[in-house]
Amino acid sequence: MNHIISVLVENKAGVLAKISGLFSRRGFNIESLAVGPTDDEKISRITLAVNAEEHSIEQIIKQLYKLINVIKIQELDPSNIVERELVLIKVGADSKTRPEILEIVSVFRANIVDVAKKTIMIEITGNSSKVKALEDLLRPFGILELVRTGKIACSRGSKS
């Protein structure tokens, strides 16, 4: 089961290491991780995507709460969130394939952020399935590099 956990932490040195260390020593895997300050500069938000059983996820959250620098943890309900990831994809492109790639990019409402003689760099923002679909379509052209931010997510409506 995929879970997205949003963790508010004190913005202090070493906090990320404490969190990632906890995952590895308790035997949990992190699928993706994104960190950044919130509107309060003393507080950062870490968004973790984790693949684990229900029982494990409960234990992960409890163990996270034991870290002194962790302020709040929220497990987001996947049916009621906006989930995004930004991905940069560099694909091989020549004059022959370029139009086809541009067409795919425009269908996905992705952006071209760099064009060189033999490559194109595409920026796409979206949820995992959208990103995955684009990735699959671009693969035949030769993906040279793929860089992703990790998932971030926010629950819908007034719930915070």
Partner 1 sequence: MGKITGAQMIIKCLKEEGVEVIFGYPGGKVIPLYDALFDSDIRHILVRHEQGAAHAADGYARVTGKTGVCIATSGPGATNLVTGIANAHMDSIPMVAITGQVGTAQIGTDAFQEADITGIAAPITKHNYLIKDVKDLPRVIKEAFIIASTGRPGPVLIDIPVDITTDLIDENFKADISLPGYKPTIKGNLKQVKQAAKKIAESKKPVIFAGGGVISSGASDILRKFVKVAKIPVITSLLGMGSYPENNELSLSMAGMHGTKYANLAFTEADLIIAVGVRFDDRVTGKLSEFAPGADVIHIDIDPAEIGKNVKVLIPVVGDAKIVLTDLKSEYEKYIEKKGKPNWEQWLSRIKKLKEDYPLKYDRNSNKVKPAYVVEKIYELTKGDAIICTEVGQNQMWAAQYYKFTKPRTLVSSGGLGTMGFGLPAAIGAKIGRPDKTVIDIAGDGSIQMVSQELSTAVTNKINIKIMLLNNGYLGMVRQWQQIFFKGRYSHTCIYNCVDFVKLVEAYGGVGLRVKKKEEVENAIKKALEIDNLVLVDFWIDREENVYPMVAPGSPISEMLESEMLEGV
Residues contributing to the site for partner 1 (CB under 8 A)? 9-10, 13-14, 17-18, 21-22, 25, 55, 58-59, 62-63, 65-72
CB nearer to partner 1: pick between 22 and 154: 22
CB nearer to partner 1: pick between 7 and 93: 7
Query: Least distance from C-beta 31 to partner 1, angstroms?
Result: 22
Query: Least distance from C-beta 150 to partner 1, angstroms?
Result: 22
Query: Least distance from C-beta 5 to partner 1, angstroms?
Result: 15
Query: Least distance from C-beta 19 to partner 1, angstroms?
Result: 10
Query: Least distance from C-beta 120 to partner 1, angstroms?
Result: 40
CB nearer to partner 1: pick between 5 and 9: 9
CB nearer to partner 1: pick between 19 and 105: 19
Torsion, CA 65, CA 7, CA 79, CA 49, rounded to 10: -100
CB nearer to partner 1: pick between 13 and 116: 13
Write out the DSSP string of the chain. -EEEEEEEEE--TTHHHHHHHHHHHTT--EEEEEEEE-SSTTEEEEEEEEE--HHHHHHHHHHHHHSTTEEEEEEE-GGGEEEEEEEEEEEE--TTTHHHHHHHHHHTT-EEEEE-SSEEEEEEEE-HHHHHHHHHHHGGG-EEEEEE---EEEESTT--
User: In the chain, what is the straight-line distance between the N-terminal and C-terminal CA atoms, in Å?
Assistant: 23
